[in-house]
Structure 1
Amino acid sequence: MSAQHPSDVLREYIESTTSPSLEAALEDAAEFGLPTPDAATGTLLSSLAALTKATGAIAVTPTASVIGLYLLAGMAEGGILTCIDPEADHQKRAKATFRDAGYSPSRVRFLPSRPLDVMGRLAHGSYNLVYGEIAPLDLKAFVDAALPLLAPGGAIVLADALLDGTLADETRKDRDTVAAREADQYFQTLEGVHVSRLPIGAGTTLIVKP
């Protein structure tokens, strides 16, 4: 029997220290086949929310219950989380999760809409953190819509945007890989931001507005 890789041991340790409310949200997401972030990505979100002293954050994900708990854990007291997802059932479960975790309904608002349909109506410069699980074809449009919403010092987190590194394989010509590769190249050309690519999840892109 081979020994576990150190990164696997570390991941298991981080996951073993999750709170009961988060554990319940993860189990609920798994039951309905919804994607969830690994523990490293989740704890990064909490830290970014704390680092930016987030009073406003946006979560674009079908698993708002899990992502929302990570974000709310780091946000400033009284900070408001905006959850955007077109599926009302997902948001219904998230409402129950936040209530059970002790968060006031006034801390979270839900927009049951397609993200790109509603983000243009949100207040510019009012959000410290924008998290998105975005299809490769929509990555560029999502970032273009999210950047004006950021306050100075704010950040955009694009989960799994690097497709486990397959976008580095130039022989891959499928639509999603090409779109992710083009989006990654586009982000490097953006002016007035700092772009980092992190080997967590399937590859996370972090765009910071100074």
Structure 2
Amino acid sequence: MTDSEGGPHPPTASPGSALIDYAESAIVEDDALLAARVRADELGAAAVAPAVGALLALLARTCDAHAVVEIGTGVGVSGLWLLNGMAADGVLTTIDPEPEHHRAARQSFAGADIAPGRTRLINGTPRDVLPRLADESYDLVFVDGPLIDHPRHVTEAIRMLRPGGVVVVHNATADGAVADPARTDPPVAAAREAALLIADDERLLPVVIPLGAGVLAATKAR
């Protein structure tokens, strides 16, 4: 395409990408979160986008979360956002197999003046830890980590959720690949399976939210 003087039009962003850019730019993170992001960069640990973090805080506050499980601690970025939305006496149980991540997360929580009793960091694989957590005892479960594990983790999350609780799945779209029928590789297939587990459960009311890498959230019937 050309402009009125015959030159090429400058590229323009699609309306969808412009909205996502705006959603991200609208979130201002405090010093504790910014410091946690520096730790994430140093360790090469993935962290949720600011808008996804803000969504986690909103959902935690909406369901008056007192007990939350996070699958995939990272360096504490998503944990800080969850704690920001949780009740003042709420406890975050966060699971990660990497001791280095937990050390960094403790620094992140301390930097935000989070009382030690408000976090329970479990160093272990979710496969081993989740079955030991009680049925219908948690207000929110945040599923992060490798896509290939999402179906197993979603199944456990649904079991652990109390009525009225919320499950949140990060990167539920596999970076958009779930919409491409040609993509049948195991991680993408696992993302589709996790989404179907939620869609087929009549107790759950789901929605896909196009923030960050794509978020699938669902609330459990009371």
- 2:26 aligned with 1:13, yes or no? yes
Amino acid at match of 2:199: Q
After TM superposition, the score normalised by the length of structure 2 is 0.87
For residues 124-139 of structure 1, the aligned pairs below 5 Å read 124-139=135-150
In structure 2, the residue matched to 1:141 is 152
The answer (yes or no) to whether the contact 1:168–1:181 under 8 Å persists in 2 is no
The answer (yes or no) to whether the contact 1:64–1:83 under 8 Å persists in 2 is no
Equivalent-residue separation in structure 2 for 1:134 and 1:31 (angstroms):
18
In structure 2, the residue matched to 1:153 is 164
Equivalent-residue separation in structure 2 for 1:6 and 1:186 (angstroms):
29
Moved over 4 A (4+): 1-4
Unpaired stretches in structure 2, ≥5 consecutive residues: 1-9
Aligned counterpart for 1:108 among listed residues 119, 124, 130: 119
Pick closer, same or farther for the CA change 1:6–1:177 going to 2, 3 Å.
Answer: closer
- 2:71 aligned with 1:60, yes or no? yes
The answer (yes or no) to whether the contact 2:73–2:94 under 8 Å persists in 1 is no
Q: CA RMSD in A?
A: 1.7
Aligned counterpart for 1:73 among listed residues 55, 73, 84: 84
Look at both structures and tell me which one has the larger radius of gyration over its CA atoms: 2
Amino acid at match of 1:68: G
Q: Which has the larger share of helix?
A: 1
Give the C-alpha shift of residue 156 in structure 1.
Answer: 0.9
Unpaired stretches in structure 1, ≥5 consecutive residues: none
In structure 1, the residue matched to 2:104 is 93
Give the C-alpha shift of residue 146 in structure 1.
Answer: 1.3
Amino acid at match of 1:160: N
Amino acid at match of 1:118: V
Equivalent-residue separation in structure 1 for 2:146 and 2:104 (angstroms):
23
- After superposition, the C-alpha distances for 1:53-74 in whole angstroms (9 at most, x for unaligned) are 1110011114251011101111
Say which SS state the counterpart of residue 34 (structure 1) adopts.
coil
Give the C-alpha shift of residue 3 in structure 1.
Answer: 6.8
Equivalent-residue separation in structure 2 for 1:2 and 1:47 (angstroms):
35
Identity of aligned residues (%): 35
Equivalent-residue separation in structure 1 for 2:197 and 2:155 (angstroms):
11
Provide the aligned length of Structure 1 versus Structure 2. 208
The answer (yes or no) to whether the contact 2:198–2:204 under 8 Å persists in 1 is no
After TM superposition, the score normalised by the length of structure 1 is 0.92
Say which SS state the counterpart of residue 36 (structure 1) adopts.
coil
- After superposition, the C-alpha distances for 1:88-118 in whole angstroms (9 at most, x for unaligned) are 1111111121112111111101110111211
The answer (yes or no) to whether the contact 2:45–2:75 under 8 Å persists in 1 is no
